[in-house]
Structure 1
Amino acid sequence: MELYRIEPDNMTRISERNLDEEEQLENRLVRTEAAQIGDVELLYIGRQGTIETGGIFDILAIDELGNTVVVELKRNEAPRSVIAQALEYASEIQDAEYDYLNSRYSSFLREEQGYGDEPPSLLEAHAEYFDLDEPLSPREFNTEQRLILVASKFDEDKLLNIVDFLRNHDVDVIAVEHSTYRDDDSDIELLATDAIRRPLAQEPSTAGDRDSHSRVYGRKWHIEEKPNPETGELIEEIVSQLSTIDSLQDPSWNQKPYVALDHQTLQYRLIIRTQVTQLQIWMGLTCDPKGRNRIANEIGVPESEVEQSTNNRGDPRLVIRCKPDYDIDVSTLRNEVKKLILSSGE
């Protein structure tokens, strides 16, 4: 790309210059409120690592739909490490709820932008920046994750091959090359970017299929489009049964990764993550190994499919994985889930 300064009687080319350190670009980015990178409008909310640590300098952002975006600035890392770092952070952030993101945003404003007063909430800042008629609800944040890789040049075939493989499996990885320019006459520095792998929604072959702005992720999508037919039937049956638990609200189908059933007090949440060949029931509580084994045996799934883990904040999470080829007693599953909710104190 070539840039020119145009005057009434002259056109002067602006010289391209190297940005010696990727940290310089990152430091400049995080000093701003937001940016558009790779055709994605971003509101920055966090930074992962510092120059002093010598780590990979991920930037965390939010797009217009409230989805999290991991921005990875590539330096001299091997292709595998670049992708691995970005995927690792995206996997860690996928379970983050609004309160965590809001906390990160508050810290970011104070530490990176020198915000002295009480910082605005993420809800307020997001609605103002994207000029929304009304703010998103907390539950609409982080339903999907994106990766943006930024480099002065992508000359490794392996890296772009990995990117294309992930994109073929619906992981929205955007690759962006950047160039910097300086107009010495006016003492202005310029940054130009070129998305060599655009957002999936903008690819011509998939624009009508993956456009998140126009698509509505509802009951039909979770039952008929996301899973195979057998899994879709199981999802419908299990959601129908769990919906009869008195303390849970009607299911919300409008998120792409999951179906949500909130507790009536909004202090407890049950999430059903829908996938092609299985569904996962996530509950924020603890259960000892004997209890997990008993639950598995009662509902008809292998013991290994009832697992205790934690989310990115260290909060407990009990996961029950269900597949169509298991001999699942859905009615018993409903009763066991109700017992678990009751034992957590509702």
Structure 2
Amino acid sequence: MHEARGQLTAAQRTAQRLSDAAASQQALPLSANAAFDPLTQALDPAQDGHYPSSVNGQDAVQPNRAPVDKFAQPLLVTESPASIALASQATTTVYAGRHLHGTAQGDWHLAAGNVVAAAAARGVSLFAQRNGLRAIAEGGPVSIQAHTDALAVLADQAVTVTSSTESIEILAQRNIVLRGGDSVIRMEGNAITFETIKLSVKGAGHPLIGPGGQAAELPGLPSSANQPNWIAMSLLGYEGQPMRNIQYELAFADGTKRTGRLNGSAEQREEAVPWGEATLTYKNNPAAKDVARPTLDDLLAATEPLIREEEAKPSSDKTNITTV
């Protein structure tokens, strides 16, 4: 047990050192470190981890008068001077009613053949004391979202945003402010304001072609407050036939928009939409053609057989018909 206690003590010191470093940089500390103290207290014979001085009238001491080791609580401790391997061809489950604490003096590697998913009810914090953090997607996008609060990107030195093959768009519902030195460019509403001591414009020409503008289309963000709210859509055309694969656009009162396409049944449902009024716009295919509507002559021609049939009936069987 002496070796196990030594490893646990070393793990506690490493975890506490990294926790203090994380907290000093405004990252979340390792609050589960507090569980180390009662664990080491229950294992350490100098504290609670020993038999009482007398058991059944006999002295519970070693020849050197040191107390005899005993877990103060029902614990399971596994220790090895070399390696420990745990493997299963099916599923392996690890559950903790309180904390699950993992500390490695060297590297800690995590790999999955398919998906790695982590969920936390109260927050996730990543802290690297040296060598930085990297988030790389070899295939597919990288998304960082703050659904109900602000998103901040801070750097002591330069911040570089690069699009190697496409474009960079900066969208905001209210305004965009660019600051550099003593100069400010403010885009708000339908106006752009330059605030600077000296303004230089370089170009072969300076055409002024009149006012123009276009509202930014901002994607909606899901929120736990509006999860039950939804909108169901259905579109039927001529003779009640479903209009399949029609594009639509939903504009909400908060300025956000959602776009999509009706399914094979000419239906669609948008989940977790913002509360308030919404405007639904269908975008027909420009190449689509409406079914030809019958003309008045077509309607009269369709009624002539019915009129002749009625006229051929005996007078007693005729229906009162008034022709104009």
- TM-score category, normalised to shorter length: under 0.3
TM-score normalised by structure 2 residue count? 0.23
Q: Which structure features the higher share of helix residues?
A: 1
TM-score normalised by structure 1 residue count? 0.22
RCO higher in structure (CA 8 A, sep ≥6): 1
Larger radius of gyration: 2
